[in-house]
Amino acid sequence: MVALALEMRLPSWYAVPTAEARREPGESEMMWTGTTPRMPSMKNCSKKATAMTLWDDINPYGYTRAPAKMQEVRMISDDLCDSNRVGGIPILLFEQSFFKPLTALAGPHDTIPIPAIAQQVERVDYECELVVVIGKAAKNVPESSALDHVLGYAVGNNVSHREWQLKRGGSQWNLGKGFDGWAPFGPGIVSRRIVKDPQALRIYTKVNGEIVQESSTRDMVFAVARSVAFLSQGTTLLPGDLIFTGTPEGIGGGRTPPLWLKDGDVVEVGLEGVGACVNKVEFV
């Protein structure tokens, strides 16, 4: 499977409960990232806050603040076995990293804008991925304790343009994956105390209601703990950082004939125990 892992800081435009806000009775350990009927009470929120508030790992009835500033989006390729086999891509011994701009981040129900430069040739593709949210600063951590630094999990779509990514100008992964709004994620952040094993989750993509990707996170070449540990070597991961961790087989570019996203298509990416993001493609 061609898998991409990206690391980013959560931005300030996410709703932020104040310190006085508390979970409603019966609510799960989840921080929603977008509007949804199951959204916990946000009556004490400030949308102008400069920090993202996440569930406190010490006091389960309160919140803890985490840095909101996004400084980089870091990608790692080659993680999930199946798409590597389908695409003829050799499985690497180490994660391969590259970067994405912070403006790629979007919400779970935002449109996916396709700019003019990405409309010149059909090649817009989808990639469902498990998203890891860092809850505690991590630097040079071993794989054995890496999950102690994880707050929880979400699901994301690593939207890609294969022509710009792989062919134009040689290889331009940053450009081909980095357009505004090309990393929607959500629909919430589910605590690692709820999702106890991130390597046993069904993950899927639907395009216009039809399943085009379906697999399990157990097929990852590099497990979540391994990726967190790797990314922390010589680099500090901060609370609020995100890591996108890979996609299963079934990407549009790996199909015969290829399945490229078109104006008006609706893409749903889902993860067992977390939920789904539903985003409409819009040519702008």
The amino acid that residue 192 corresponds to is R
145: Cβ–Cβ under 8 A, 6 or more apart, which residues?
none
Q: Where in the sequence is the domain holding 180, given as residue range(s)?
A: 67-283
Q: What is the pLDDT of residues 191-250, one digit of tens each?
A: 999 999 999 999 999 999 999 999 999 998 899 999 999 999 999 998 888 888 888 999
Return the pLDDT at 55.
Answer: 35
- For 150-167, b where at least 16 C-beta lie within 10 A, e where not — what string? bbbbbbbbbbbbbbbbee
pLDDT at 280 over 60: yes
Identify whether 28 is part of a domain: no
Q: Residue 150 belongs to a domain with what CATH number?
A: 3.90.850.10
CA angle 264, 270, 273 (to 5 degrees): 155
Identify whether 172 is part of a domain: yes
Under the banding of pLDDT at 50, 70 and 90, the label for residue 96 is confident
Return the pLDDT at 93.
Answer: 77
Tell me if 123 sits within 8 A of 42, measured CB to CB: no
Return the pLDDT at 221.
Answer: 87
Q: How far is CA 123 from CA 114, 170, 171, in A?
A: 11, 16, 14
Residue 174 or residue 33, greater confidence: 174
Place of tokens 């409960």: 17
The Cα 71–Cα 209 span in angstroms is: 35
- Give the tokens for residue 226: 């391994």
Identify whether 78 is part of a domain: yes
Identify whether 188 is part of a domain: yes
Return the pLDDT at 67.
Answer: 38
SS3 242: strand
Q: What is the pLDDT of residues 114-173, one digit of tens each?
A: 999 999 999 999 999 999 988 899 999 999 999 999 999 999 999 999 988 877 765 677
Domain tally for the chain? 1
pLDDT at 89 over 80: no
Identify whether 18 is part of a domain: no
